Structure formats: C-alpha cells, structure tokens
Structure 1
C-alpha cells in the first residue's frame, strides 16, 4: 500500500464496479464469446472473434466506446446489437452464479457499512448490469446508491460522480477504482482517489495521480480507521 498524503475521513466512499469490486472476467469472457457467436449467426459479423484483451483493456470506458476499440470497422447498428447481446448474456451468467467478487470485497464492505460509512457505486456500465451484479452477489443492500452511465446518460465518470455528489449533498468522498477514468473523476471533482492495483486490466500508468494505491481491497479498512476526522 502506497500513500502520498494524509487522509481525512470521507462523507462516503464511492466504488467503481469492474476491476474494483467485481472480477469482471469471470462473467465477461464467456459472454463476450457468446456475443460474437450470435453476431455471426445473425449475419452481422464475419471473421474471428477479436482478442479478449481488447475488451479487457477497454474496461472503464463507456460501452459505445469499447466497441469502437474491439470492432472499429463495424457499423453503429452492429455495435448497438452487441450492447443488447452482451447485457443478455451477462445477466444469464449472473443467474448461473459462476461470477465472482474479489475475495475480500464482501467482508470489507460489511465492515465499512457497520462503521456507518455511506457506500455508493459509480460505474460506466449499463444500469441493469451494475444493479444485476450487486444483486446477484448480495451486496446491493449495503449501498446508498448504484449509479451508472447507463441510467443517468452521462458521457464521463467525471459527470457521473458530480451527479452522485450533488444528489446527496456531499463535498468530501473517496473515489475507489482501478482505471484512469476513476482517477480523473476523483481529481476533477477535487476528491481523494484510492487506486486499486490488483485487477491488472490497465496500462502501467493507469493509476497515476491516485492519492493511495492498494493491492488488496481489505486495506481500505486500515485507511479508513487511520484517517483523520
């Protein structure tokens, strides 16, 4: 764990979903291959399925931007059909109960909740996906709000975090996430950023600018307990 400055206890802690709370690849990779199998079946896509790393490396972006990376030559209607299929297969996967949170996530969230900390999610994902993951893994009741770009039609995590803070009248939060979009959201809203360095989806400098880097989710407890009032 690396800390660049003393921390002050926040009014709330806001979490990214993919790569922070949720081991996204446990759900995404099977769904990803099913999407391309279905697109080929429907005559919307030909050729091999693009490398999985293109998808994993784009996590944290808006879905419409992810498809521009994964299949840049395809038309918009193919991307929108891929949106529909990905959500369909991911929701099916959640029902099959094969996906996973990171090991220390449930206990740590419960401990923070028991300390009276307000908890939120801010994700660039689709509404039903974000809420579906939280419900399937039985952590939804711990959160005061599950914010997603899909529900609020925001074009960046910066805007989504500002909407969340305004809705709840908060001026001091911790933004916890694993991608540069999380760091940017925290910095541009003048907030503390806790970078999660355990997912490994991003580039080497993905978390540059974070106030703290953690390599296990459970380290949040010590950070919160040691933070000044």
Structure 2
C-alpha cells in the first residue's frame, strides 16, 4: 500500500482531456491548409501516427509524423496545428473524460493540492483548462512549452521544488508520466483508459486505473 498524498500531479492529454476530440479535427485542418498552400503535397499521414505520439514534445511528434519532410515543412505543420487546436478549442471542440470536473472538485475539497504537468504548449494547456472550467481547481498548471524543459522528469522536478512538495501522486497515461513519477520518487497512477499507447506504456506504475472515476476510491 502507499500513503495518501499531499498533492496530485496530473497529465492533461489522455488523463483529464479526451485529446482526440480536439486533435483529430485540428490535424486534418492542418494538412488541408498545407495542401491548399502547396507546402505539403503528399497524402495526409495516418492520424493514428500522431495519436500514438501523444505525450511527446512537439518537435519529436513532427519527426515521427513527417519523417521524410524537411524541417521547414515540419515547422509549418507545427505552426498550423497549434493555431487550429486553439481555434477549435475556442469553438467548443474537445471534452474532458467523464466525471473529471466533479472528481477534481471532490479531491480539492478534501484538501489535496492539485497540479497539471504537461508536455504541451502553454497556450494549449491553459486554454483547455480555461475552456473546460477547471482552471480554479489547480494550484498551478505546468507545461513544457512555458518552462522550456527537455523532459517531463525535469518539469515535475521543477514543480516539486517550487511548491515544496515531498509526497505526491503522478497521474498520467504515458510512459513519460511513469518515468517522471518514478525518477522523482512519486507514487505513479497509470491511467489505462485513453488507449493511445501499447500494452507496455504504463509498465512501472504502482497501480493502473481503468477510468478516472476510480481515483477517489483509490485515495480513500
């Protein structure tokens, strides 16, 4: 068994937010635009490639989605993708997983300090939290884009140091979350419901949950 934490640190995509509900329309809009302007002329890469890259930093994502393209093409894809994600977010695209807002409210009311640590861009992470009404529930939102960290391990370490946290749970769905938790001596709760990774994605987690709704019982 593991102790009750003073804080919980959540990944955003695939943990709190159903990323594909925003990502897929923004992804296709990106390549439609690139086809129109002539900056990319091949067929749109399979959307499952980018879905499989969730949790990575954006430069690595585009290297995998466009392995044969030059850096200029990748940068253009990145620029358009970020623009369309924010635009579609403002239009109401994207959903939290069932029960997320209610459960976060309950955890906060019980005295747990709540944080987000995401490899996404600052505007995206803060935009999702703002548009979905959960910003007030968190003490702070940390993103690789804002803090220019090279890994989630470093991002979580920064968060722990700044907020003087000694005992926390790292809650996430990707291997980067598991690594960030273990290397910072945290209890790792693996979220096994997004379906983005393979079966080994959450190896090393102290426990796996099949829905976000399991978290309060696990804490209790």
The interval holding the TM-score normalised by the smaller chain is over 0.9
Aligned: 1:192 with 2:187: yes
- Cα offsets for 1:41-95 (capped at 9, x unmatched): 2222111100011000000000100000000111112222222211111111111
2:75 — aligned with what? 80
The match for 2:174 among 176, 179, 182 is: 179
Aligned: 1:27 with 2:27: no
* Dislocated runs of 4+, deviation >6 Å: none
- Equivalent positions of 1:11-22 (< 5 A) are 11-22=6-17
1:46 — aligned with what? 41
- Cα offsets for 1:176-210 (capped at 9, x unmatched): 00000000000111110000000000011100000
- Cα offsets for 1:100-148 (capped at 9, x unmatched): 0001211110110111111000000010000000000000110011100
With 65-74 and 39-48 compared, the bigger mean Cα shift is at 39-48
Aligned: 1:110 with 2:108: no
The match for 2:122 among 102, 127, 131 is: 127
> What is the RMSD of the two structures over their aligned residues, measured on CA atoms?
0.8
- Equivalent positions of 1:196-207 (< 5 A) are 196-207=191-202
1:90 — aligned with what? 85
The answer to whether the 8 A contact 1:104-1:216 is kept is no
Aligned: 1:99 with 2:94: yes
TM-score w.r.t. length of structure 1 = 0.94
Question: d(CA) in 2 for partners of 1:42 and 1:155?
Answer: 32
Aligned: 1:209 with 2:204: yes
Shift of 1:98: 2.8
Q: Which runs of 5+ in 1 are unaligned?
A: 1-5
Aligned: 1:7 with 2:6: no
TM-score w.r.t. length of structure 2 = 0.98
Aligned: 1:70 with 2:65: yes
2:219 — aligned with what? 224
Q: Which runs of 5+ in 2 are unaligned?
A: none
SS in 2 for 1:218: helix
